[in-house]
Structure 1
Amino acid sequence: MKILLVGEYSRLHNSLKEGLILLNHDVTIVATKDGFKNYDVDLPIHKKYTKGFLKKFKNIIYRLTKIDLESLQIKKQIIKLKPKISDFDIVQFINEASFGCTASIEKDIFDLISTWNKKVFLLSCGADYISIKYAHDGKPRYSILTPYLNGKHQFLSNYGLKFLQQDFIELHNHIYQSIEGVIASDLDYHLPLKNHPKYLGLIPNPINTEELEFKKLKIEDKIVIFHGINSHSYYKKGSDIFEEALSIINRKYSDKIKVVTVRSLPYNEYIKSYNEAHIMLDQVYAFDQGFNALEAMAMGKVVFTGAEKEWLDYYNLIDDAVAINALPDAERIANKLEWLITNPEKIIDISINARQFVETYHNHKYVAEQYLKTWQKHL
């Protein structure tokens, strides 16, 4: 089959493409490069107004006219690509707003690509209307909106609140009327979608375990704790809570640990930067693991991330066996770190279990097979 993957977050579509190619399918990705992360894209969409004078000019024009120059030039690029992004059997959009445009331009792009191709599917991956409304209504115990609701407003746009605006609600409704169905990439998107008539089920994030080498951890001197900060998502990921927990643990065990902190690295640099780590601090406000956590787990790191009871039940796991649930509480995170520091054999055990878990449930070829089965039901 010919498959077009539209948009890219956290390398999800790249890993899915690699799995689909192993199954002898023809796959193309059209996307922007996801900011500083700079993932590979077959047909890159370039953003022109991201910094300096052009960014200021774009903002002035938008304030005066409500015309977004970036969105318009992205739409022009899509139209020019028509010969290369037409006549595919399957199209999958990674999000309701796959290109970060205004709602009206996202609708135009969605309609163009849908018209040029056959069956269209959607991923619930990253913020979208249903997941943000679910969080805003206070249905989960905590969510990516928790820091916002607690007054932590560093980058307001990063919380996905635009999806609650009327124009994005209309975009959501339009897309859902047109697609064959929507697939959740993990439990944080599965729970809001349960019982929705367009919901096709949860398919776990695909991880290319062949490219991520597992190295059995050795603890010969200090335990290395890695904290990778995305400056734009500092509060949303709970980095402030991790830093508070590290401060607590450093006061007690500075002679036994080494803390490595990096900020906003491109993907290839980022994944190399935690090679020597034993423990990785990923994110707080999640019930399941995202891409960064899963890739680190595949490499045998002990990851503090979303590993809530709902996730344990879904995969029939026990607490602290595969990953450490990072609750929004610095003292409790510090206590878990202390448990690992004083019981280093647990680090080795969890490391092995983490790799086995990713190989079992997230292997990119296995996940690609699940996507194919879901898509083929609608051909």
Structure 2
Amino acid sequence: MKILLVGEYNRTHRNIKLGLEHLGHSAKVVGLTDGFKKVKVDIEIKNYFETGLLKKIRVALVKLFSFDILGTHLNYQIKSKKQELSNYDVIQFLNEAPFGCDRNNQKKIIDLLIGWNNKPFLLSCGTDFISVDYAMRKKFRYSILTPYLENKGTKKDFLAALSYLTPEHKILHDYIFNTIEGVISNDLDYHIPLIGHPKYLGMIPHAINTSQLDYRSPIINDKIVIFHGINSHNYIKKGNDIFDAALDLIALKYSNKVEIITTTDLPYAEYIERFDKCHILLDQVYAYDQGFNALEAMAKGKVVFTGAEQEWLDYFNLQADTVAINALPNADAVAKKLEWLIINPKKIIEISRNGRDFVEQHHDHINCAKSYLEKWNRDK
């Protein structure tokens, strides 16, 4: 089979591609390189309006004339690559809005790609209309919109997520769901809102290529190293402010027992290098399940504070605090879990091994690729 994977967050589609290729299929990833993360894609669509003067020109044109020059340019790039982007057996979009421009041009681009290929599918990965609407109606105990609903941060912090509730996006959402053959989710934060939807095909956990992630059992000699990698665009949304407050409490009480490393907006390669020496990694707060960075860290032997809610424990038949640590939206609660690990360093070694085993069992990219093939070919 020939598969076209449209859009990229972290290495979500890249790992699916590698799994498909291992199984003898042909797959290409087309899209932007996920901002500062600079993720490798096969067919790159360039955003020349991301920084500097060109970014200012784009912003001015949008404000003055409601004209998104980025969308127009992305549309042009897609059309210029028609031959490379046509005649695939399956096309899968990573998100309802994978190109980061105005919704009108995104609809035009998606319409072109669907018209050039067969069997369109959607992967619910990242915020979309259904998950944001679910969160806005407070159907989660907490979500990425909890800080917004509690008046934390500024409206600008949540513009990206709230854009999925605009009339412009709803038109795009309805078009996609009327056109695709099915939608697949890749973690519980997107699975739960989709339950019962007529086009929902079920969840396939994030695909992780563990062959490229060496496991190292933690060696704790002197200090326990805690790593906190911040994406400044998502600081409030991911709960980094809560982690910072918890780390202040830990630094005050255990300065002689811990080393704290905090970074901001590192490219992926440097991010991996910087967290390699840590024992504990702080990932995100407002989630029920693990995202990509958390799973890769778990595969490398880190104890990760992330989404690990009861729904996740039930889905995978796990006990709390055995594979990952559920990071609650409360700095004192996070600090107490950190203190528990500092006082009981053997738990770090135990959870580290369990985390690697879990990723290998449930997130192997080749097994995930097999699951995608089954869902794409379900009518055969």
TM-score, scaled to structure 1: 0.99
- Could you tell me how far 1:157 is from its partner in structure 2? 4.6
Q: Name the CA distance, whole Å, in 2 between partners of 1:3 and 1:213.
A: 29
* Contact 1:4–1:85, Cα closer than 8 Å, also in 2: yes
Number of residue-to-residue matches in the alignment: 379
Q: Name the CA distance, whole Å, in 2 between partners of 1:248 and 1:341.
A: 13
Residue 202 (structure 2) aligns with = 201
Unpaired stretches in structure 1, ≥5 consecutive residues: none
2:210 is paired with a residue whose SS is coil
Q: Name the CA distance, whole Å, in 1 between partners of 2:216 and 2:280.
A: 13
Residue 260 (structure 2) aligns with = 259
List aligned pairs for 1:326-365, cutoff 5 A. Answer: 326-365=327-366
Q: Name the CA distance, whole Å, in 2 between partners of 1:153 and 1:182.
A: 32
1:216 is paired with a residue whose SS is coil
Residue 180 (structure 1) aligns with = 181
Q: Name the CA distance, whole Å, in 1 between partners of 2:372 and 2:169.
A: 27
Residue 138 (structure 1) aligns with = 138
- Could you tell me how far 1:21 is from its partner in structure 2? 0.8
Cα offsets for 1:11-56 (capped at 9, x unmatched)? 1001111111110110101000110000001111111112222222
List aligned pairs for 1:289-304, cutoff 5 A. Answer: 289-304=290-305
Larger mean CA deviation between 68-77 and 146-155 belongs to 146-155
Q: Name the CA distance, whole Å, in 2 between partners of 1:271 and 1:20.
A: 25
Residue 224 (structure 1) aligns with = 225
Residue 31 (structure 2) aligns with = 31
Q: Is 2:44 aligned against 1:44?
A: yes
Unpaired stretches in structure 2, ≥5 consecutive residues: none
List aligned pairs for 1:122-133, cutoff 5 A. Answer: 122-133=122-133
Q: Which amino acid in 2 is paired with 1:142?
A: Y
Residue 109 (structure 2) aligns with = 109
Cα offsets for 1:105-134 (capped at 9, x unmatched)? 111111100000000000111110000000
Residue 70 (structure 1) aligns with = 70
Q: What percentage of aligned pairs have identical amino acids?
A: 54
Q: Name the CA distance, whole Å, in 2 between partners of 1:117 and 1:41.
A: 19
Q: Name the CA distance, whole Å, in 2 between partners of 1:350 and 1:144.
A: 26
1:82 is paired with a residue whose SS is coil
1:260 is paired with a residue whose SS is strand
Residue 54 (structure 1) aligns with = 54
Q: Name the CA distance, whole Å, in 1 between partners of 2:59 and 2:243.
A: 34
Cα offsets for 1:252-285 (capped at 9, x unmatched)? 1110000011110011111111111000000000
- Could you tell me how far 1:74 is from its partner in structure 2? 0.4
**Shift in alpha-carbon separation, 1:160–1:378, aligned structure 2, 3 A:** farther
Q: Name the CA distance, whole Å, in 2 between partners of 1:238 and 1:363.
A: 28
Q: Which amino acid in 1 is paired with 2:56?
A: K
List aligned pairs for 1:300-311, cutoff 5 A. Answer: 300-311=301-312
Q: Name the CA distance, whole Å, in 1 between partners of 2:60 and 2:18.
A: 42
Residue 98 (structure 1) aligns with = 98
- Could you tell me how far 1:152 is from its partner in structure 2? 2.5
Q: Which amino acid in 2 is paired with 1:241?
A: I
1:328 is paired with a residue whose SS is coil
Residue 272 (structure 2) aligns with = 271
Q: Which amino acid in 2 is paired with 1:3?
A: I
Residue 242 (structure 2) aligns with = 241
Larger mean CA deviation between 110-119 and 63-72 belongs to 63-72
Q: Name the CA distance, whole Å, in 2 between partners of 1:125 and 1:259.
A: 31
When the two chains are superposed, the root-mean-square deviation of aligned CA atoms in Å is 0.9
Q: Name the CA distance, whole Å, in 2 between partners of 1:120 and 1:281.
A: 36
Q: Name the CA distance, whole Å, in 1 between partners of 2:236 and 2:10.
A: 18
Q: Name the CA distance, whole Å, in 2 between partners of 1:156 and 1:270.
A: 23
* Contact 2:157–2:234, Cα closer than 8 Å, also in 1: no
Q: Name the CA distance, whole Å, in 1 between partners of 2:88 and 2:328.
A: 43
- Could you tell me how far 1:378 is from its partner in structure 2? 4.0
Q: Name the CA distance, whole Å, in 2 between partners of 1:276 and 1:203.
A: 30
Q: Is 2:167 aligned against 1:189?
A: no
Q: Name the CA distance, whole Å, in 1 between partners of 2:348 and 2:6.
A: 38
Residue 151 (structure 1) aligns with = 151
Residue 165 (structure 1) aligns with = 166
Q: Name the CA distance, whole Å, in 1 between partners of 2:58 and 2:249.
A: 44
Q: Which amino acid in 1 is paired with 2:124?
A: S
TM-score, scaled to structure 2: 0.98
Larger mean CA deviation between 52-61 and 159-168 belongs to 52-61
